Amino acid sequence: MTTTFDINKIRDDFPILKQRINGNPLVYLDNGATSQKPQSVIDAIVNYYTTTNSNVHRGVHTMSQQATDGYEDARSKIRQFINADDDKEIIYTRNTTEGINLVAHSYGRQNVGPGDDIIVSNMEHHSNIVPWQMLCEEMGANLLVVPIDDTGELVMDEYEKMLSSRSKLVSITHVSNALGTILPAKQIVEMAHAHGAPVLLDGAQAVPHMPVDMNELDCDFYVFSGHKLFGPTGIGVLYGKKEYLEAMPPFLGGGEMIKSVTFEKTIYNDLPYKFEGGTPDIAGAIGLGAAIDYVNNLGFDQITAHEDELLRYGTEALSAIESLRIIGTAEHKAGILSFVIDKAHPHDIGTILDEQGIAVRTGHHCAQPVMARFQIPATARASLAFYNTKEDIDALVKGIDRVLEVFG
């Protein structure tokens, strides 16, 4: 069942949005960094700690079983949310970063050798660069970087040229956090598969904005963070195709990821627990499940329609400001408006906006190679969520007017 898209009612579900910051109503446009949480997510976490808190998969007592049920129900919700085939393919992690590191450490060390290639793009977050650099250094492999054009699109011809029998993994973002570009993920996967290379998609900035479907994309790994999807911090997801996960060695050794231990030999647990060593973030998983319920209830038809309209409105408004330049003008974009202004450093833009209660992110957005590509030190970035409004964009434009008054 999908509810009607009543923006005032939706905003009422997010208590933090009622705050005043520096004497002004909060205008929260930093959703790319982390999103706000609806009351239902906060309640799910409070309820868990108030009524159920126990360790999972360990006890026969009632609360332990209830905690296990909540934790595993959330896994099923995640599986349905991304249309994966099996709960075993859903591994809980702390965040996107940990998911990528898990694959680099486990799949990478097992499959990548001297002279092999790992392919990333010029618009990756540092989380999708550094683990591969570390792996390549250790294994004597090469990190190949697909270039991007002036609008922030991937140069597909160059990508095609890089693929070969040496390609051991393609690891590319689904949506760029610094530019907003939505990449042609399905095509990227098909092209890699034609050369026998598996693909990891970094979905950190995709899952809050659009439906993602593992069967449709046919990627081999997909990673995202709960906190950008209106869930809590400290919980993330690695999806992996069963045949890959089955063949991969564990990442962290310890409790939960074993079937039996002697000093002579340890038998590892089945999926997904093989990759979930130690006590997990149970409350985080349950909170993420509640966030997915919330998003499902709104439905992506309504979410993407609303955000597309906001993006169009914001792009038009910012483009009308003469000394402002939008960085990232790809045809298909998620709700991200990165910009620079002549004479005003992004940090000063962010500070002046903050004085007016407007939260944006400024800096390199953990994507320094993107900044290098566009020969800029940083940008100011307004990133949208479904609870944003045209009034938020109007406030941003008014805030930028103030920046222009100061830096004229």
Query: Closest approach of Cβ 281 to ligand C6P, in Å?
Result: 13
The Cα 143–Cα 121 span in angstroms is 10
Q: Contact, 163 vs 318, CB < 8 A?
A: no
136 flagged as catalytic: no
Q: Which two tokens stand for residue 363?
A: 């800096």
Query: Closest approach of Cβ 211 to ligand C6P, in Å?
Result: 18
Q: Which two tokens stand for residue 336?
A: 């991200």
Which residue, 366 or 403, has its beta carbon nearer to ligand C6P? 366
Which residue, 252 or 258, has its beta carbon nearer to ligand C6P? 252
The Cα 129–Cα 172 span in angstroms is 10
Query: Closest approach of Cβ 87 to ligand C6P, in Å?
Result: 22
Query: Closest approach of Cβ 285 to ligand C6P, in Å?
Result: 15
Which residue, 298 or 366, has its beta carbon nearer to ligand C6P? 366
Which residue, 56 or 178, has its beta carbon nearer to ligand C6P? 178
Task: Say which of 366, 371, 393, 396 is annotated catalytic.
Answer: 366
Q: Which two tokens stand for residue 107?
A: 């799949």
Which residue, 116 or 202, has its beta carbon nearer to ligand C6P? 202
Q: Which two tokens stand for residue 347?
A: 């940090």
In order of 10, 27, 140, 214, 229, the CA distances from 358 in angstroms are 19, 5, 46, 36, 21
Residues that bind ligand C6P (CB under 6 A): 32-33, 95-97, 125, 127-128, 173, 177, 202, 204-205, 225, 361, 365-366
Q: Contact, 315 vs 384, CB < 8 A?
A: no
Which residue, 126 or 325, has its beta carbon nearer to ligand C6P? 126
Query: Closest approach of Cβ 70 to ligand C6P, in Å?
Result: 22
Which residue, 52 or 181, has its beta carbon nearer to ligand C6P? 181
* Cis geometry, peptide bond prior to residue 377 (ω within 30 degrees of 0): no
The Cα 224–Cα 209 span in angstroms is 12
Query: Closest approach of Cβ 97 to ligand C6P, in Å?
Result: 3
91: CB partners within 8 A, 6+ apart: 99, 102, 237, 238, 239, 240, 245, 271, 272, 275, 276
How crowded is residue 285: how many other Cβ atoms within 10 Å of its Cβ? 28
Query: Closest approach of Cβ 199 to ligand C6P, in Å?
Result: 15
Residues tagged active-site: 366
